[in-house]
Each structure stands twice: as C-alpha cells, then as structure tokens.
A and B are shown apart, each in its own frame.
Chain A
C-alpha cells in the first residue's frame, strides 16, 4: 500500500512537472484552460474574421520608430515602432543572407512585393494590416485575405505534396487537441516577411500553430525554416484578434488597379495621361 502511494505521489509529481513544462513551452502562452466552442464536426471553431493588431508587417524584429520611405507622405509613411515578434529578438540569417537582407532594405521602395500588390506569402499574410476570414469545413480550412484577395486552401485530409511552387504555398493541416497545426511548403522565393526586406528562398518551410485563447483571440505561432537563408529554425508568435465590428465583412482590396501606373506607367504612349481617379 505504501509503495502504491509512493508510486502515486511520484506519478503526480512527474505529471505536475510535465504539465508545468509543457505550459511554458509555447511562447505565446497556450491559454491554459480555454476550450474553444466546437464546430458540428467536434473541432475547435476558428471561423470568423481575424486580424493582427501590431507593426509586424513593418518589421518583425524589435525596432524603434524611423523615417519613412516617401518624403511627400510625411508622418503617414514614418515607420511605427514595434516590440518585436521573433523569439529571441533576432532572425538568424546566414552571413550571405544577412547581406542580401541589407540590400533588400536599401532597395525596399522598389523591391518590396507589397508595393506591387503581389500576393503576400506566408506568414506575412497573417499579419498584414488587413482582416482575413477563416471558413472551416471538415475537409478544408480556407483562409481568405482582404489584402490582394489572397487565398490559402488548407487541406485537412491526407497530406498531399505541393505540385509546384506558389506565392501562398501548399498547406496541409491537422488538429492537435485545441491547436490547428499547418505545415506549408512549395513556396516560390518571391515573397518577403515584412517591409524591411526580411526574406526567404524556395526552400521555405513554415509550421504554424493556431489556438483559440478566448472567444475573440487566437494565439498564432509560426516556425520558419529555410536552410538556404537561416542558420536554424526560428519562431514568431503574436495574438490575432476577432474583428467584432457590426456587420463586419471582408471588402474588396483589388490593389492591382492601384499599382498599374507604378508598374507600367513608363510604358505608356508618350503624351497620354493616366485617367483621373
């Protein structure tokens, strides 16, 4: 009997330690105890319109406020300060990649794909300053982004392999308890992570973990791996908030039209003018 109790107390102590450890493990905090409402299929219900409320799209790493890129835009284009969302503070670039990032930064006004309205890639789509909507069914989880009308189709069935490279990548998802885990590969090397030139190659591999922390908040984490660019995998984490605005809906931001003059203006027939708008 005593042996049994001792064994039990050891078991309890070990379980408590394991619980404590696993509670510490996720950087964003796993929202202990919160259990999301369920869909009819019994999965955590992540349906809704969500948005990151932070400055990660300006620069993922901790940064002070800074001058903008376009003099005429004054304070509107000045870089807002950001507390940083990279675990450990710094993105672990390989030496050659660090030089490339610096070059990207210097040429950001012409090289940032966001300026040309190109698809945002992953994880950038998740923290663009635009809302996105999750439409969740048994077989697929759709993410539809207001910015550029970007779309992610997350296959919830048997994992499939990317047939070719794309901007938004090829996503396979599965549930680990309360958490939606998304494994994405098949990226091209064209998208950036933010406006200061943080970048990746077509070897990018992103594993995201999305967990409801309260009815109106998701914890979002992404582990980023790319052997061509980074010396080790690194992780970002941030909350995503539900857009609770009355009658909230995604609206249209077809920005292609807004960048035509920027991209093709130099090719217009001399003497012609862009139409007034």
Chain B
C-alpha cells in the first residue's frame, strides 16, 4: 500500500464513520449539483464576522465528471439515469482494481477506508464535462507554440531516461513536491480531494489536504510578486466582486504544467457560495502561448466533514526509495547473470 494512503487513512478512518451517513443524507436531499438546481435553492447570505461572504469550512471536489467531454458525447448534460449508470460503472472499475493477488491490489486498495470515490463524499452533477467554454466541452486546440512545447517536454522526458533511473524522473506527486491536481486550478485528485477554507480580515486561506499545500490569498489589492519570482503553486491575489471571490494566480514555475500550459499561465478562479452545502467553483485558464482563447471549467465544491489530518507525504516516502532501490537491485542481478553467462 502506498505510503501516502497510509497517512490519509488515519484521517479517513476517523472521518468517514461520520461522513458516510452524512453523505447518504446529503445524497438523499440534493444528489445533483448544477447551476439550474442552485438557482432554485435559497440564496446563501451568511457573512463572516468581519463581513466577507462566508466560504469557511471543509469542502471536497471529488467527482466522476471528467474535465473534457468524452468522445462521442455531444450533449451538455446527462439525464439522472445516465449519471447513476455512469457512476455505477466507474465505481465498479475502481473496485475491480482490488482483485486479490494483483499488483494493483497491493498498491491501491481503493475499497478500503473509502478511498474510492463511490464510497466517499463526492460531487455528482449532470454535466458531461467540467469544461463549459468552449461549448464543445473540450480544451481548445493548442497553438503551434503549445504543440512544440508539448513535443519538447516529451523529448526531454525521454532523454532523462526511465522514471526508475532517478528521483527527478518521477512525477512530482510521487516525489511529494506537489500533486498534479492540487492547483490552482483545484482539480479532483482521485482521493483526498479535500479542502479547508478559513477567512480572516483581508485574507482567504485555502488548505489543500494533499501535501498540506496552503494558499493565503490577500484581498488588499497589492501588486503581484515580481515576474522573476516563480513558485510551484504560483502566487494568488483575490478580491470580492459582489458575493463572488475572484482569485487570480500567476508566477507559476512551469515545472508542474497544467494541461501542458506554459509558465505564463494565469488562472482566474471564482468562488460563489450557493447554499449550505455548495460553493460554485469555476476557473478560467488564460495562456496565449498555449491556447488562442481562454477556456473555462466549472466544478462545484461540496461540503464535507473535517478536520483534515496532517498529510506528511515526503516524511514517509518509501515509494521513491523502494522503487529506486528495487531498480538498482534488478540491474545488479541482471549484470551478475550476464557475467556468469560470460564465464561459462
């Protein structure tokens, strides 16, 4: 079992005894989040004690809704029966990974401790894709620059060698630096898709469970960091537009590119509390070096139960160590076998 699961499990075991019945209750009330459903719900007007619209609490964006509309699907929304069917099939696929005796079973036992999305609190919506603009639900075609960068990155990865050759060749999530989906933009990460929002005068703080990444977003209109200062999760500035929190993030270091974006990518996120259980979350990606036009996705955040337990990732990263050590042992064995053969 992956070390990162083990740290998560501590949280999940305590939390899900509470979450499961609650999720069921939530599901009974409002199983489908969509803009349409929210329009009929009572408008959320609660404010924090210092007068900000209140976004505080624990949230999840775990979902089966894909970023891009699947091939062959042309409509914007499924009907409810279709969504139920799709989720059922997806849950079955996740369970199938735990067939006893398989490698997948040892590495990822999704059904234990509710790590599979089907068992835990997640966002169910009728949308066929998170992307709402362009209207076809797909990421716009890449510019020639974008295509070249993609090819260059692939060539560089190939040049670096196998992922088992050195730690730098491994995905940044495996290395516990940053999870691919932790964002911004905040994308579902398969498991541990949990966030905590806390507000204080002048700031909104968003804690991501994965690798305890925190954004402390200033609301005072200060300038962005100088352009030469680049960070893994960029640098965020926020403001209120009515009851909507608008957060603009830039200054990415480009080492964890979202959908092959360049380091010039800007993410504009919008958080609007719809009701007690829902934040309407949408983000727009702007990166002229990669796409000729901006594109926008929407994925509600659904209320979940905290607290979020410490996700000490690097501290228990046996995965990197064992993978590299295993590869070196295999090479050694192969070399010994070859030299024996040579002696004969």
A residues at B contact (CB < 8 Å): 39-41, 47, 117-119, 133, 135-140, 142, 144, 149-151, 153, 155, 160, 163-164, 166-168, 190, 247, 249-252, 254, 256-257, 260-261, 263-264, 267-269, 272, 274-275
9 closest pairs, A vs B, by CB? Answer: A40-B49, A267-B324, A268-B166, A252-B231, A166-B310, A269-B165, A164-B10, A163-B14, A264-B167
Closest to B54 in A: A137
* B341 CB–A CB distance under 8 Å: no
- Is the Cβ of A135 less than 8 Å from the Cβ of B205? yes
A residues less than 8 Å from B165 (CB atoms): 268-269, 272
B50 touches A269 (CB 8 A): no
**Given A137-B56, A264-B324, A268-B165, 6 further pairs, Cβ under 8 A:** A39-B50, A39-B201, A149-B212, A250-B216, A254-B232, A264-B166
Which residues from A are CB-within-8-Å of B315?
A: 118-119, 167, 190
Q: With A166-B312, A254-B178, A254-B232 in contact, is A144–B324 under 8 Å at CB?
A: no
Q: Give Cα distance in the complex from A183 to B66, angstroms.
A: 43
B residues 317-335 near A (Cβ < 8 Å) are 320-321, 324-325, 327-328, 331
A138→B320 CA distance, assembly (Å): 40
28 A-B interface contacts by CB (under 8 A): A39-B50, A40-B50, A40-B201, A41-B49, A47-B202, A119-B315, A135-B199, A135-B216, A137-B48, A137-B200, A138-B49, A160-B307, A249-B216, A249-B235, A250-B216, A251-B229, A251-B231, A254-B177, A256-B314, A260-B175, A261-B167, A263-B321, A264-B166, A264-B321, A267-B167, A267-B321, A268-B324, A269-B166
Determine if B314 and A118 form an interchain contact, defined as CB atoms under 8 angstroms apart. yes
- What are the residues of chain A within 8 A of B166 when measuring CB–CB? 264, 268-269, 272, 274
B219 within 8 A of A: no
CA distance A261 to B222 in the complex (A): 37
Q: From known contacts A39-B49, A133-B216, infer whether A149 and B211 are also in contact, taking CB-CB under 8 Å.
A: yes
Contact of A269 among B56, B196, B321, B331 (CB under 8 A): B331
Closest to A45 in B: B201
Is B198 in the interface zone, CB < 8 Å from A? yes
Q: Mark B291-314, 1 if CB is under 8 A from A, else 0.
A: 000000000000000011110101
Chain A residue with the shortest CB-CB distance to B315: A118
Cβ-defined contact, A256 with B205, below 8 A? no
- With A164-B10, A254-B232, A268-B166 in contact, is A47–B212 under 8 Å at CB? no
User: What residues on A are CB-neighbors of B308 within 8 Å?
Assistant: 153
Q: Hey, which chain B residues are within 8 Å of A260, CB to CB?
A: 167-168, 175
Give Cα A136 to B56, complex, Å. 12
Q: List, in ascending order, chain B residues with CB within 8 A of A160's CB.
A: 307
Chain A hits for B48, CB < 8 A: 40, 137
Query: Given the complex, which residues of B lie within 8 Å of A168, measured CB to CB?
Result: 310
Q: Does B203 contact A (CB under 8 A)?
A: yes
User: CA of A39 to CA of B229 in the docked complex: distance in angstroms?
Assistant: 33
Residue of B nearest to A274 (CB): B168
Q: Determine which of A47, A119, A142, A274 lies in contact with B207 in the assembled complex, contact meaning CB atoms within 8 Å.
A: A142
CB <8 Å contact, B198 and A269: no
**Is B342 part of the contact surface with A, judged by Cβ < 8 Å?**
no
Nearest chain B CB to A179 CB, angstrom units: 19
What residues of B have a CB within 8 angstroms of the CB of A164 in the complex? 10, 14, 309
Residue among B13, B49, B214 with the highest chain A CB neighbour number at 10 A: B214
- Measured between C-beta atoms, what is the minimum distance from B318 to chain A in Å? 11
Contacts of B254 in A (CB 8 A): none
Is the beta-carbon distance between B176 and A269 smaller than 8 angstroms?
A: no
A41–B200 alpha-carbon span in the complex (Å): 11
Residue of B nearest to A267 (CB): B324
In the assembled complex, the CB of B234 is this many whole angstroms from the nearest CB of chain A, namely 9
B60 CB to closest chain A CB (Å) equals 17
Chain B residues with Cβ below 8 Å from A256 are: 175-177, 314
Supposing A137-B198, A149-B213 touch, asked if A269 and B161 sit within 8 A by C-beta, the answer is yes
Find the B residue at minimum CB distance from A168.
B310
Cβ–Cβ contact A149 & B331, under 8 A: no
Q: Is B31 an interface residue (CB 8 A)?
A: no
Give the residues in chain A near B160, CB-CB below 8 Å: 275
A residues in contact with B285, CB < 8 Å: none
Q: Which parts of B233-259 form the interface with A (CB within 8 Å)?
A: 233, 235
Determine whether the beta carbon of A142 is less than 8 Å from that of B205: yes
CB distance from B80 to the nearest CB of A (A): 36
B181 at the interface (CB under 8 A from A): no
Contacts of A251 in B (CB 8 A): 225, 229, 231
A39 to B201, CA, bound (A): 8
Would A252 and B216 be within 8 Å (CB), given that A138-B49, A269-B327 are in contact? no
**Are B328 and A267 in contact, with the CB atoms below 8 A?**
yes
CA of A275 to CA of B167, assembled, Å = 11
Give the distance to chain B from A218, nearest Cβ to Cβ, in Å. 16
Q: Given A164-B309, A264-B321, A268-B166: A117 and B314 within 8 A (CB)?
A: yes
Q: With the chains together, A190 CA to B310 CA distance in Å? A: 14
Q: For residue A133, which residues in chain B have a CB less than 8 angstroms away from its CB?
A: 216
Tell whether A47 pairs with B176 under 8 Å between CB atoms, given A190-B315, A251-B231.
no
Residues from chain A with a CB closer than 8 A to the CB of B320 are 264
> Does any Cβ of A come within 8 Å of B100's Cβ?
no
Residues in A with CB closer than 8 Å to B211 are 149
